[in-house]
A and B are shown apart, each in its own frame.
Chain A
Amino acid sequence: MSTRRISIDPVTRLEGHGKIDIFLTDEGDVAEAFLQIPELRGFERFCVGRPAEDMPNLTSRICGVCPEAHHLASAKALDALFHVDPPPTAKKLRELFYCIFYATDHTTHFYALGGPDFVVGPDAPKEERNILGVIKKVGMEIAGRVLKMRAEGHHLIEMIGGRKVHPNWALPGGVSRGLTEEQRQEIEARGREAVEFARFSMQLFNQIVLGNREYVNLVTSDAYTHRTYNMGMVDVRNRVNFYDGTIRIVGPDGREYARYPAKDYADHVAEHVEPWSYLKFPYLKKIGWKGFVDGEESGVYKATPLSRLNAADGMATPLAQEEYERMYDALGGKPVHYTLATHWARLIEMLYAAERWVELATDPEITGPDYRVLPTQTPDEGVGCVEAPRGTLTHHYWTDARGILTRMNLVVGTTNNYAPISLSIKKAAQNLIRRGTVVTEALLNRVEMAFRAYDPCFGCATHYLPGQMPLTVIIRAADGTVLQRVGRAGPPAT
């Protein structure tokens, strides 16, 4: 077979590593596209033999972008493992900590990672498609607000959890330290500013993206649309919750397909292995792995900010609920399958996280002295689950009676989305690379945009890890001969 290959490697601005290979037919149409994750670290193996209480600290090293998510999923798994129910103050403290992290992390994504595509523009030169380009476009004052928001978020994360990156705070039965009234006041004040910042960011999105017909057409174009199942954690009233609740899955038509406690994940989710990637592909077990296809008959599901909104009936805070309704009104009702609308959903979540932050910071119990109970029962097995910003995160541990790990299983945030990300890349490529189309840098960037919307974090997914080549298009004949090379820097074919 005479095929030609386009490589995008590394896929920059994703937090972790990845490589995209697109193969073309003789006619110059897309034959196949592969997103390969070229690394693995093997936490599930080397954590065996380690003490259970080390898990919140060891597993946070799965991902330095969302260590808070691993830290808390792990602590919840330890609660279950040791059969201990943390006191209300402990649960509220963990959720408060998590909401602060969420608001901070979503800020990073919108302004530094996903934002450049929209704010600077998908066809802007590569030298400008980064956070410095965003700063240039929106001005130093706004840039200052972004930096302040991030700085304060990390400051509070450190104040509560001990460190800005890789906290050392959550334990089975609660947390290692509570809050003083003075700290609470600072957290509340920063939370009120975070609500304002999130509203401001929504406004900016409205202006720059929704105010631009070209961008709106891009968001709603078929190239960025996939009808799949959606997964997210909900509270008893089916509203989005990041820290605790029940897992709900809705079908491509938006109807509830499954609702289950997180501990039953293995009845609902299975993982498929391909020999060309170090990362596995989760799918809905009862439907089965039908390959890289979307639709009702395929077990492929998404677990993203947009998925969480699709899987829920609403948001638990007033301003976020207003924005939730506005988004679905604008995009024609639920569910929304436009991948790029994930950026919009992420901002709604940022607003919810900030509002919930204030609610918890003003809760009378938050400074309570009972932030920890000691476990008294023999540890055996436990599952812990949170919504990581990049998808539902599940930790599952087994130990001996001394609390030493005998087995571990993880289904990590980004991993959930590996199959849909692969679908999105292929489809974007098919729509953007057609017979006669000159492969330009911006075109390839739009393929990258297809998955950047997922905010994939392959450091995380590769607790599974990746590598580096240029954004160069290598067009090859079947025997490997380079027919043509189109690159950003335009180095000669070798």
Chain B
Amino acid sequence: MSAQGKLAIYWAASCGGCEISILTLNEKILDVAAAFDIVFCPCLMDTKVRDIEALPDGTIDVCLFNGAIRTSEQEYMAKLLRQKSKVLVAFGSCAHEGCIPGLANLTNRQEVFETVYCDSVSTDNRGRVIPLPETRVNGFHLTLPVFYDTVRTLGQTVAVDYYLPGCPPEAPRIWDAVVAILENKLPPPGSVIGAQTTVCDECPRTRNEKKIRSFKRTWQIIPDADTCLLEQGLVCSGPATRAGCEARCPQVHSPCIGCYGPNAGVEDFGARLMSALASVIDANEPEEIERIIQEGIPDPVGTFYRFSLPHSLLRRAARVPDAERHELPLPKPAQ
């Protein structure tokens, strides 16, 4: 890579937390600014998409792309930035696995629209107006991106070179990735850039033999400060979750919620967590095991696939016709 590689940072369906996490590199952000020519970052700089469209293919050395793909516009931007970038990194949980907004795959566009625009207690919409891809207002023609039925990850939309996990990725891990890029020490393409261990391996809490007779919800007990939270009956996602955060949540007495995604070699986060929990239940009768799970884990899909539903083997609640999905043409190569 040239001394000053070109860097783009883009967001699709996301919350902005990935950008804030980049800013928590603090003084190292100046090193990033010195090492790269930041060509595109709508959150912090005045550059527009047309400038990117005008670039020759492959001009951008590294694109950090956060956010999932939910609309036609996001799909277009994913394709555009793929074409313009040598290395495309799915940055953060949304681009990697779908994240919390991916829980929308438990429902569909119609239900979302009805809830938000029609049935909300504070919405006055007797005419049941909903946003449309094309509208005419007093003769003015306005368009909106098409809202898809299904949230997709970046990797389900375009070819991705690397994945950086976390909601959001913690600053030290972002820096590790930047250093790997600058020193050209990246793992094989298609890899997750991160640790190969679990949150449990980083967690300072004491672990004994686990025997769970019932799972507790976080509001039902005050856990002690030093013992493994799972041992105390709290559903902690640590055993299934990739390390990288230094077990931050367990350190404030809160169970890991799994934001760093599945550990290395794990295909499906929920399946891994379920088997980890099953192995600590102190019961043999299937009815007893079922009772323990039903009482303590009233929302299995939301618990086991909190961050990873679109990326999981399940992907979504039920197959639905996807006729509204407009396949957009690839951006035209620059002249």
Residues of A whose CB lies within 8 Å of any CB of B are 1, 3, 5, 9-10, 12-17, 21, 23, 31-32, 34, 36, 38-54, 57-58, 61-65, 67, 78, 82, 108, 112-113, 126, 129-132, 144, 147, 150-151, 154, 158, 160-169, 171-173, 176-177, 265-266, 269-278, 280, 282, 285, 289, 372, 374-375, 396, 402-404, 409, 411, 445, 457, 459-460, 464-472, 487-489, 491
- Tell me if B13 counts as interface (CB < 8 A to partner A): yes
The answer to whether A34 and B140 touch across the interface, beta carbons within 8 angstroms, is yes
The answer to whether A64 and B16 touch across the interface, beta carbons within 8 angstroms, is yes
* Number of residues on chain B facing chain A (CB within 8 A): 93
In B19-76, which residues have CB < 8 Å from any A CB? 19-21, 23-24, 26-27, 29, 33, 42-54, 67, 70-71, 73-74, 76
The answer to whether B142 and A21 touch across the interface, beta carbons within 8 angstroms, is yes
Between B20, B24, B124, B130, the greatest number of chain A beta carbons within 10 A of the residue's beta carbon is seen for B20
Given contacts A403-B217, A472-B50, 19 further A-B contacts (CB under 8 A): A12-B47, A13-B43, A21-B140, A34-B142, A38-B71, A46-B101, A46-B103, A49-B302, A63-B17, A130-B45, A144-B27, A168-B254, A176-B218, A270-B122, A271-B120, A272-B123, A374-B220, A464-B116, A491-B54
- Residues of chain B within 8 A (CB-CB) of A289 are 124
The answer to whether B42 and A12 touch across the interface, beta carbons within 8 angstroms, is yes
- Residues of chain A within 8 A (CB-CB) of B302 are 49-51, 54
| Bound-complex Cα distance A171 to B259 (A) | 19
Instruction: For the complex formed, measure the closest distance between the CB of B255 and the CB atoms of chain A, giving whole angstroms.
Output: 8
The answer to whether B298 and A404 touch across the interface, beta carbons within 8 angstroms, is yes
Contact of B48 among A9, A53, A172, A459 (CB under 8 A): A9
| Bound-complex Cα distance A62 to B132 (A) | 23
Instruction: For the complex formed, measure the closest distance between the CB of A487 and the CB atoms of chain B, giving whole angstroms.
Output: 7
Between A82, A162, A411, A460, the greatest number of chain B beta carbons within 10 A of the residue's beta carbon is seen for A162
Instruction: For the complex formed, measure the closest distance between the CB of B68 and the CB atoms of chain A, giving whole angstroms.
Output: 9
- Residues of chain B within 8 A (CB-CB) of A488 are 46, 48, 51
The answer to whether A467 and B140 touch across the interface, beta carbons within 8 angstroms, is no
The answer to whether A42 and B107 touch across the interface, beta carbons within 8 angstroms, is yes
Please name 5 pairs of A and B residues whose Cβ atoms are closer than 8 Å in the assembled complex, sorted by A. Answer: A15-B16, A36-B142, A42-B107, A265-B122, A277-B131
- Tell me if B273 counts as interface (CB < 8 A to partner A): no
Given contacts A3-B139, A161-B252, contact A465 B13 (CB under 8 A): yes
Nearest chain-B residue to A50 (Cβ)?
Answer: B302
A-B contact count (CB 8 A): 317
Instruction: For the complex formed, measure the closest distance between the CB of B163 and the CB atoms of chain A, giving whole angstroms.
Output: 18
| Bound-complex Cα distance A487 to B54 (A) | 13
Between B42, B67, B170, B306, the greatest number of chain A beta carbons within 10 A of the residue's beta carbon is seen for B42
Contact of B137 among A32, A164, A491 (CB under 8 A): A32
Instruction: For the complex formed, measure the closest distance between the CB of A79 and the CB atoms of chain B, giving whole angstroms.
Output: 11
The answer to whether B142 and A164 touch across the interface, beta carbons within 8 angstroms, is no
- Residues of chain A within 8 A (CB-CB) of B107 are 42, 45-46
Nearest chain-B residue to A278 (Cβ)?
Answer: B131
- Residues of chain A within 8 A (CB-CB) of B45 are 12-13, 126, 130
The answer to whether A126 and B15 touch across the interface, beta carbons within 8 angstroms, is no
In B283-333, which residues have CB < 8 Å from any A CB? 298-299, 302-303, 306
- Residues of chain B within 8 A (CB-CB) of A265 are 122
In B251-286, which residues have CB < 8 Å from any A CB? 251-254, 257, 259
Given contacts A12-B46, A39-B13, A65-B16, contact A276 B217 (CB under 8 A): no
| Bound-complex Cα distance A131 to B44 (A) | 7
The answer to whether A63 and B15 touch across the interface, beta carbons within 8 angstroms, is yes
| Bound-complex Cα distance A21 to B137 (A) | 12
